[in-house]
Amino acid sequence: MKIAILTQPLHINYGGILQAFAVQKILKDMGHEVITLDIPWKDAESKISLYVRIKLFIATLLLFLLNRLKAQDIVWPYNTRKRNRKLINYSMRSFINRIINLSPVIDTERSLKRYIKEKNIDVCVVGSDQVWRPMYSPNINWYFLNFLSDDANIKRIALSASFGTSDW
């Protein structure tokens, strides 16, 4: 069977990269032809709520006041990740390309539908982890496999998929 895996973008999440490798390896070892769809990351900075930003600020301030941080360590936590994201992504990309069989970059629904059709995909697996969390997903509707037509004979599987929060 030809299997396409749709998971979170593989850029800076080490756990996500390892789970993508593990799922792909197990399915390959079972004799399937497997590819992980390379969906690009869209910057989630604008999606971070004011509530989360305030919590991050208060946590940083409390840690400083409790002398757990040195003065030079006081940074806005999200900005630290933003500054390092390019560097981490660059270093991880060669690792990802070596261990995971990736599709070409797919950034539109049209190209996603075309790729699935051209490759004669038999099964679409969505997962794992917080693939159904809008803040983390480049296009949340894709992670519910809405790009597959109702008459498509493609099997749909959710593998350890979650919302990752009690409030969606």
pLDDT tens-digit readout, 142-161: 889 988 987 778 999 999 88
pLDDT tens-digit readout, 52-104: 667 667 776 776 666 555 544 444 444 555 556 666 667 777 788 888 999 99
β-pair partners for 2: 33
Residue 153 backbone dihedrals phi, psi, to 5 degrees:
-90, 30
pLDDT on residue 26: 95
Residue with tokens 């992504």: 89
State the virtual CA torsion across 59, 60, 64, 67 in degrees, nearest 10.
Answer: 60
Contact 110, 139 (CB under 8 A): no
Give the whole-angstrom CA distance, residue 45 versus residue 58.
18
Give the whole-angstrom CA distance, residue 11 versus residue 88.
8
Domains of the chain with bracketed CATH: 2-161 (3.40.50)
Give per-residue burial for 52-84: e unless 16+ CB within 10 Å, then b.
eeeeeeeebeeeeeeeeeeeeeeeeeeeeeeee
Contact 11, 82 (CB under 8 A): no
